[in-house]
Amino acid sequence: MALITELLRREIGLIEGSIFRGRAANLAGSNFDKALSFAPFASQHNYDQIVLIDTGNDHRLYGLWYFGIPTLIDTNHFSSPFFHLVTSRLLNYGPFGATHNQTTLTKFDPRVLAALGVRYVITDTAFDAGTALQLKLELDPYRSQYVYELPRPNLGDYSPTRVHVAPNATQAMQMMASPDFDFTKEVVLVESTETVAWTSATSSRVQVFRDHLEVHAESKSRSIVVLPIEYSHCLEFGLHSSRGDPIEVRRANLEQTAIVFSGSLEGNIAQRYGPFRNPGCRLADYADAKRLAISAVPWTIGNEASIQSHSLRR
């Protein structure tokens, strides 16, 4: 097994009943093939073939999934448009040729990556961004891969106390794109919620099972936990708390799941959809996308300076 895969499997590999320990995200290869600058994932695909030959593993898709390593990258015809919106605008340098069913990641933004549950980032460029270099792997005399560990990934324990409400996706993305937006302390909801003095949860964790997730959280008062779990009307929640206050489940930061609770929270989350079970949930997700006008969000939202910088580096 390749060195990178060994590290990731040991530190974040999924085990039945284990605590979620974070995801991996591979940004390497977007500038490898200059002729494919308009479609960085295609460039990354070509780059991965070299990595596969040199190490026996692509370090991006099946090479990680085979060993139970969760990734931020998704290859799925049912991939959420909300997930595509957030990753394409906040983790890339401007417009590119890609479809929503194939995640493309090119921008090293520790703030956004950590908020989405990423703990380890694979790059082909050395960075000095306050992150810990855990491994450098020389592929050949001309290129290396680096693995960085982010200091504060969302492992299901982000509990913000400042709530913003955005009536549409553009305003929500404008808030999230700001480098001053702190995902550990702030959250964007798309619907108003109760007005209370929010307190941070004293603890929160997510356990991973083959067909569901289990959530455990504690609060001394009224709290919000934002989970690194994609929100959908197809999610089924079996949650209960030690107090009589209502439990609320909200769409947070456009694509994440937020739970509002008091006291002790326990329960499970599972995705259930199909023609005979919860058949309208995908249409409800589509209705959210239409209502929030996600197609109107500009490609360059909050990203003009980084696009120019990236163009100069090319």
Read out DSSP for 194-210?
A: --------SEEEEEE-S
Q: Model's pTM, two decimal places?
A: 0.92
For 3-41, write each residue's pLDDT tens digit.
999 999 999 999 999 999 999 999 999 989 888 888 898
Mean pLDDT across the chain, nearest whole number?
91
Measured torsion, CA atoms of residues 113, 116, 117, 118, in degrees rounded to the nearest 10: -30
> Is the pLDDT assigned to residue 308 strictly greater than 50?
no
Q: Between residues 181 and 93, which one has the greater pLDDT?
A: 181
Half-sphere exposure of 67 (CA within 13 A, CB side): 24
* N- to C-terminal Cα separation, the chain: 33
pLDDT-wise least confident of 140-144, 256-260, 262-266: 140-144
Evaluate whether 252 touches 264 at the Cβ level (below 8 Å).
no
